Every structure is written in structure tokens, then in C-alpha cells.
A and B are shown apart, each in its own frame.
Chain A
């Protein structure tokens, strides 16, 4: 079974602070994604990447940066965290968009 590991599992951050969410996959997948999940909105794509050292904007990239330093690692960075960024964040990997393997999620609370 594909393995996607996210860290931390939960985090409390202060408004205006910097937050980094990490994702590591051992699936040898080229494609990695960051989604956020909010009640009533389902999963919304923030950033994605299909090769190391390159990232693409998803549907809601504002306020977020992404970094893909290697095939295995994909980070999501909130330079100035805001209350509206409180959500559950899921990282996923895949050979293509046809089947995504999700991590267990990071619950972020911005106070």
C-alpha cells in the first residue's frame, strides 16, 4: 500500500506566524498535491507538483507557497498565517491524477 506521511499531525499557530507543513512519500510517485478540507467545501487544491524543483498553482494558491526539493518531499508554507487558514490539510501523491494516495492530514488551527 502506498505511503504518504505528513507532519505534524496537528499544529496550533499564531496569526502572522510562519507555518511549514511537510509531506514525505515512499511510493516513487512523480505527482504530489496539497489540498485543504473545510466543512461544506470538500477538498480544494492549493498547489501541486509533477517533478522535483517545480510547483504549480492549484485553485486556491493565495497565501500559500510550496516547495518540492526532491521527488519524495513536498512542503506547504504559510508565510503569514491567518485565521482563515484554519483547516485540515491533506497531502497526496500519485502516478497520475487517476488515483491519489492521501496522507492522514494535518489539522491546523490559527489563533
Chain B
């Protein structure tokens, strides 16, 4: 079963717009939620992460909004740039070294100039 779901599968926005990528999870015990991004022909890399002690995490133009009650989170990319075009993966796990990350299927974002 898919424990982490992402939507939409693909998203196209214009340069300067805000892109919103959605993620939901099933296991209510998950307490660590990183987002990874992957550029074409590159490997995934950590972008930003959040723990449920807060409902918002900001890093420049990238913001995670977290809703623990609904088991949903979203990644907002403000003032989108063509260089943001990539596949974005939401992941979830229990915090702690011995716990594995479960990734969603990804959202492919295209930012048009």
C-alpha cells in the first residue's frame, strides 16, 4: 500500500507564480517529513524538512505547511523560477536513526518563463 501520496503528478506554472505541491500520509506515528528534489539526470537531494512540533517551515521561497489532524502537508514555492523545474518527492518516517524513509511517487514541476 502507498503510505505517502502526492498530488498532482505533474504541475506547470508560469515564472513568478506560486506552485503548490500536496502530500498526504497514512501512518499517524510518522514524525519527520522531508522533501527531496531531483533535477533531470541528477540524483535526489534534500530540500527542506519539517517535524510536527510546528505547522510551518520556511526556507527562502520554499515553505512547508503541515496539518497533523488531516495528515496532510504541502510545499509552496513562491516566485517560481525556471530553475525550480524538477521532480519533488515528499517522504515520511519516524524520527531516529533506525527508521526508514518512505517516499511518495513525486510531483513533476515545470516552470515556464
Q: A: which residues have CB within 8 A of B?
A: 30-31, 33, 35, 40-45, 48, 50, 58-59, 90, 95-100, 102-105
Contact = CB atoms under 8 A, between A and B. Distances in A.
Contacts of A44: 103
Most chain A CB within 10 A, of B6, B32, B93, B100, is at B100
Interface residues of B, number: 25
B97 interface: yes
A78 B100 CA distance: 22
* Pairs A-B, 10 closest by C-beta atoms: A102-B43, A96-B97, A42-B105, A43-B103, A42-B103, A42-B106, A99-B46, A97-B101, A102-B44, A97-B93
Contacts of B104: 42
Interface of chain B: mostly helix, strand, loop or mixed: loop
Interface string B19-47: 00000000000001010100000111110
B99 A97 contact: yes
B59 to A, nearest CB: 14
Given A97-B93, A99-B46, A48 B106 contact: no
Nearest to B104: A42
Contacts of A45: 100-102
